[in-house]
């Protein structure tokens, strides 16, 4: 696995070593010791999540204000534009975002530490999205920032208005949100 820093420290793009031949492919999608050594952190995951969404669905920007979750995210079918927003007030990157195209084809993963909001837009006909979390989901701690918040000015690759859940439509502005 190769680990690449992003423009926001503590967020990393991971590219696995893929072995392909005429039968198909194989790669190690997760290895705790290698990940911890690569990131120079001790990360333990407690929950795996799997979502499937149709083209044009935008999920996020989600985070937990208590029991914040670090996430290791990847796509196993289709393609998404994945976004992380730094919500750590003491960070010099506070309010900055990064976005990467993750797909079943490129097999890349994104490590997003606790203290970030996360969201993604489905670009393919549908996508299956997997992620590991460092803490458990607790609904009363979940918060949502509007995906189209003008302060954040995220450059989503949209060709039309996205499909957003009722809960996500009610997301707060960045300026009003509870932050870390």
Can you give the residue range of the structural domain that contains 95?
Answer: 45-169
Reported pTM: 0.95
The CA distance from 60 to 167, in Å, is: 9
In a domain, 139, yes or no: yes
In a domain, 175, yes or no: no
**pLDDT tens, N- to C-terminus, the chain (180 residues):** 899 999 998 999 999 999 999 999 998 899 999 999 999 999 999 999 999 999 999 999 999 999 999 999 999 999 999 999 999 999 999 999 999 999 999 999 999 999 999 999 999 999 999 999 999 999 999 999 999 999 999 999 999 999 999 999 999 999 999 999
In a domain, 128, yes or no: yes
The CA distance from 41 to 37, in Å, is: 7
Catalytic residues: 62, 131
Angle, CA 145 vertex, CA 141 and CA 8 arms, to 5°: 95
In a domain, 33, yes or no: no
In a domain, 180, yes or no: no
In a domain, 62, yes or no: yes
In a domain, 92, yes or no: yes
Number of domains observed in the structure of the chain: 1
The CA distance from 176 to 101, in Å, is: 29
Cβ of 96: how many Cβ atoms within 10 Å?
A: 14
In a domain, 154, yes or no: yes
**CATH number, domain containing residue 114:** 2.60.120.10
């Amino acid at each position: 696995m190769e680990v690449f820093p992003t423009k926001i420290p503590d967020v990393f793009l991971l590219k696995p070593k893929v072995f392909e031949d005429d039968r198909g492919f194989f790669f190690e999608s997760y290895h705790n010791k290698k990940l911890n050594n690569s990131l120079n952190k001790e990360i333990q995951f407690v929950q795996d999540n799997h979502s499937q969404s149709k083209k044009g669905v935008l999920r996020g920007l989600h985070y937990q204000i208590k029991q914040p979750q670090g996430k290791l995210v990847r796509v196993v079918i289709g393609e998404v534009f994945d976004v992380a927003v730094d919500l750590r007030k003491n960070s010099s990157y506070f309010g900055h975002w990064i976005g990467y195209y993750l797909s079943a084809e490129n097999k890349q993963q994104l490590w997003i530490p606790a203290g970030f909001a996360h969201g993604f837009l489905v670009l393919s006909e549908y996508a299956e999205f997997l992620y590991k979390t460092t803490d458990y989901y607790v609904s009363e701690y979940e918060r949502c920032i509007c995906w189209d918040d003008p302060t954040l000015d995220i450059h989503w690759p949209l060709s039309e208005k996205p499909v957003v859940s009722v809960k996500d439509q009610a997301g707060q502005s960045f300026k009003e949100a509870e932050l870390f």
